[in-house]
Chains A and B, each alone.
Chain A
Amino acid sequence: MLEHLPALQVAITLTAAPVVMMFGRATRLAWAVTTLACWASFAVALTLFATVADGSVISYEMGGWAPPWGIEYSIDAANAWVLVIIGLISAVVMPFARQSVEQEISESRTALFYSAFLLANAGLIGITVTADAFNIFVFFEISALASYALIAMGRDRRAILSSFQYLIMGTVGTTFLLIGIGFLYIMTGTLNLGDLSARLPEVSDTRTIRAAFGFIAVGISLKLALFPLHLWLPNAYTYAPSMVTVFLSATATKVAIYVLLRFVYTVFGFEFSFVELAMAWLLMPLAILGIFIPSLVAVFQTNVKRMLAYSSVAQVGYMILGISFASMLGLTASVLHLFNHAITKAALFMAVGCLVYRLGGVSLTQLAGAGQRMPWTMGAFVVAGLSLIGIPLTAGFVTKWHLLQAALVGGLWPIAVFLLGTSLLAAMYIWKVVEVAYFQEPENPDTTVAEAPLGMLIPTLILTASTVVFGVFGNFTVASAGTAAAALMGGAP
């Protein structure tokens, strides 16, 4: 059975989705099956990760048709890394989800909600494992359509509008991706990523291929919310149900960044992307603006969820900045940040989910006094917030350190200074929350507000602790990110 793991990785959650949908009002059962599926999926991801950790590649022929004709699933250190991120986040968010979803989603929709969540999960996994360009598009649409439904189920009516915005932007993004893939297919007659990278150099000096590159880069940039194409993200994250925000913020943009890396480094190749087309000169200014402006906007937000959403856009900027260094060190830092930001931001949004559960909302005025009433939740928020800022001994610091190194080795010392400066902006918006929560008296001394239920608190604390663990023992993640970066640079998936 072990050789079928790449197919099962997608199949587990994809099978669970229709099963869960049939449960109707048996919401506990729906939750239990979803949780089991997510844990099984995480176990498969870990197994795959351990198998390819030495730099080997697993290739799986879907339906028994040999690539490049058939659809190939291929796992190397890079996508196994992303699979672990998706698996870990969904495995941790599910125990958290039960009480949060009970409160936020009506009982008649809960089974459908979990079903959509599983579909989004399966879609993201599918994007990651497949080595077929058209398959990537199809899985993008599966995960996106499920995400639109998930976001629209938020309690606030504005959730529907923000889901619609996301739908429009997301559809434009995937359409661009499809047009780009179509151009590649016209020129090479193949859709297999490995085969594409072998055939592209012959025809790369044509307008069609350059247009394909443009379409794919812009399309994926929309999906990963690269500044200034991020406009769908803040609303979507703000009004989505708590667990959806946790899951999407930690996985959806990461998977899109993985696809960008795969196309830029593996399919088109380093030479074409960075030497011929000088992509770095496009990415670096956008990354810098994308770190600075959303961070600044985040400082002025009064809704903590929206503040963190803007911070997510800024964090995407850090990942893109690492790519724009066009060096192995920079790429490693970016790949590393995929994981470190996923656990950090998931922990933060989970803490926010706990606050929403008890306080009903997370505008700054509602948070007054939360530090005394919900000490564990706010403690988790502060620790994860430190990781977001990049304080030593947290996961965020490990990334910042590697980004700094990459900048200095590349001789870009102004960027190194800039990185330190933007950390201050992050410190400012996290501090705003801390100040209100710890040093302001609540307006109405409502004594009924207590600590979040254990079912939600424990997963939050686990992820928060992991930001510290991976900050102190960063060697493991750095080594894995290095292997993943080497796999991306190395050529065919």
Chain B
Amino acid sequence: MNQYIVLRVVSKLMIPVIMIFALYVQFHGEYSPGGGFQAGIVFTAAFIVYTLLFGLEAAQKAVPPVAAHILAAFGVLLFIAFGYASLFLGGNFLEYKVLLPNDQAGETFGIIGIELGVGITVAAVALSLFYSFAGRERR
């Protein structure tokens, strides 16, 4: 679809905006509707637009399927790491308030951290799903 100049230009304008909006949904999630899950999906939407216009190969050059797998696992581990961290700092599992000296700051830090984990995993899993549907090999 490389010859459609309008689509190419518009998508190049849109993709960064979609990604930034995803990050907004991600990091503003505790004040407004949103959070890691929604942000992850929106973030992947940018990749899907890119893939539709420039092809699967170009997209997989940017994020190889293996990287998507590893990121999916990494997000979960990030979430769990916050659980262990609060355990080792003397709280219960996932008790974020012990993470920082100030209780409220600790809660905020913890919730942003785990939501980041959720966001990464959801984005990576959604991308993996899209890859496996888009790239069904004709064996």
Q: Which residues of A contact B (CB under 8 A)?
A: 4, 7-8, 11, 14-15, 17-19, 21-22, 24, 60-64
| A18 and B74 contacting across the interface, CB-CB below 8 Å | yes
CA distance A62 to B73 in the complex (A): 23
Q: Which residues of A contact B72 (CB under 8 A)?
A: 18, 21
- Rounded to whole Å, the gap between the CB of A227 and the closest CB of chain B is 36
Are B92 and A62 in contact (CB-based, < 8 A)?
A: yes
Are B87 and A4 touching (Cβ within 8 A)? yes
**CA A7 to CA B84, docked complex, whole Å:** 10
- The answer to whether B80 touches A24, judged by C-beta atoms less than 8 angstroms apart, is no
Q: Which residues of B contact A21 (CB under 8 A)?
A: 69, 72-73
Number of A-B contacts (CB under 8 A): 49
Instruction: Pick from B30-38, B41-49, B93-101 the stretch touching chain A.
Output: B93-101
Chain A neighbourhood of B59, CB < 8 A: none
Q: Are A15 and B80 in contact (CB under 8 A)?
A: yes
User: In the complex, are the beta carbons of A11 and B77 less than 8 A apart?
Assistant: no
B76, A18: Cβ atoms under 8 Å? yes
- Return chain B residues, CB-CB under 8 Å to A61: 92
Least CB separation from B91: chain A residue = A64
- Closest Cβ of chain A: how far from B96's Cβ, in Å? 7
Expressed in whole angstroms, the Cα–Cα distance for A22 and B73 within the complex equals 7
Inter-subunit contact B69/A60 (CB<8 Å): no
| Beta-carbon contact of A11 and B92 below 8 Å | no
Q: Which residues of A contact B70 (CB under 8 A)?
A: 22
> Nearest residue in A to B93 (C-beta to C-beta)?
A7
Q: Does B1 contact A (CB under 8 A)?
A: no
Residues of B within 8 A of A (CB): 66, 69-70, 72-74, 76-77, 80, 83-84, 87, 91-97
B97 CB contact (under 8 Å) in A7, A24, A64: A64
> What 6 new A-B contacts, CB under 8 Å, besides A14-B80, A15-B84?
A18-B72, A19-B77, A21-B73, A22-B69, A61-B92, A63-B95
Kindly list chain B residues whose C-beta atoms are within 8 Å of the C-beta of A4.
87, 92-93
Name A61's closest neighbour in chain B (CB-CB): B92
Question: Do B80 and A11 touch (CB < 8 A)?
Answer: yes
B36–chain A nearest beta-carbon distance, Å: 16
- A198→B65 CA distance, assembly (Å): 51
Assembled-state Cα–Cα distance A219/B50 (Å)? 43
Q: List 14 A-B contacts (CB under 8 A).
A: A4-B87, A7-B83, A7-B87, A11-B80, A17-B76, A18-B77, A21-B72, A22-B69, A22-B74, A62-B92, A62-B93, A62-B94, A63-B93, A64-B91
**A15 with B77: CB separation less than 8 A:** yes
**Considering residues A4, A17, A64, which has the most beta carbons from chain B within 10 angstroms of its beta carbon?**
A64
* A18 vs B94: C-alpha distance when bound (angstroms): 18
> Which residue of B69, B84, B94 is within 8 Å of A63 (Cβ)?
B94
Q: Which residue of B lies closest to A71 (CB)?
A: B94
Question: CA–CA, A7 to B70, complex, Å?
Answer: 25
Partner pick for B92 among A17, A19, A64, CB 8 A cutoff: A64
Collect the chain B residues with CB atoms within 8 Å of residue A14's CB.
80
Q: Could you tell me if B92 and A60 are in contact, using CB atoms closer than 8 angstroms? A: yes
Ranked nearest first, the 3 interchain pairs of A and B with the lowest CB-CB distance are: A64-B95, A18-B73, A7-B93
Give the nearest-CB partner of B97 in chain A: A64
A60 to B92, CA, bound (A): 8
Q: Which residues of the partner chain B approach A64 to less than 8 Å between Cβ atoms?
A: 91-92, 94-95, 97
Tell whether, in the assembled complex, residue A63 and residue B77 are in contact, meaning their CB atoms are under 8 Å apart: no
- Give the chain A neighbours of B91 by CB distance below 8 A: 64
CA distance A11 to B92 in the complex (A): 12
- Chain A residues contacting B83 (CB-CB under 8 Å) are 7, 11
Q: Once bound together, how far apart are the Cα atoms of A24 and B77, in whole Å?
A: 16
Give every chain B residue within 8 A of A63 (Cβ-Cβ): 92-96
Chain A residue contacts of B66, Cβ below 8 A: 24
Of residues A14, A15, A18, which shows the largest number of chain B Cβ atoms within 10 Å of its Cβ? A18
Report the Cα distance A19→B93, complex, angstroms: 19
CA distance A22 to B72 in the complex (A): 9
CB distance from B55 to the nearest CB of A (A): 24
Report the minimum CB–CB distance from A135 to chain B (whole Å): 13
CA distance A286 to B120 in the complex (A): 47
Chain A residue contacts of B69, Cβ below 8 A: 21-22
B94: chain A residues within 8 A (beta carbon):
62-64
Least CB distance, A60 to chain B, in whole angstroms = 7
Please tell me if the beta carbons of B74 and A11 are within 8 angstroms of each other in the complex: no
Residue on B nearest A111 in the bound complex, by CB: B69
Q: A4-B87, A24-B66 are in contact. Are A11 and B73 (CB under 8 A)?
A: no
Q: Which residue of A has the minimal Cβ distance to B77? A: A18
A62 proximity list for chain B (CB < 8 A): 92-94
Contacts of A8 in B (CB 8 A): 93
Q: Chain A: which residue is nearest B71 at the CB level?
A: A22
Contacts of B74 in A (CB 8 A): 18, 22
Q: How far is the CB of B110 from chain A (nearest CB, A)?
A: 9
Which of chain A's residues has its CB closest to B92's CB? A64
Q: How many angstroms between the C-alpha atoms of A182 and B112 in the bound complex?
A: 29
CA distance in complex: A422, B23 (Å)? 63
Complex Cα gap A61–B72 (Å): 28
Q: Which residues of the other chain, B, contact A7 by a CB distance below 8 angstroms?
A: 83, 87, 92-93
CB distance from A19 to the nearest CB of B (A): 7
By a CB distance below 8 angstroms, the chain B residues around A18 are: 72-74, 76-77, 80
Name the residue of chain B whose CB is nearest to the CB of A63.
Answer: B94
- B residues near A11, Cβ cutoff 8 Å: 80, 83-84, 93
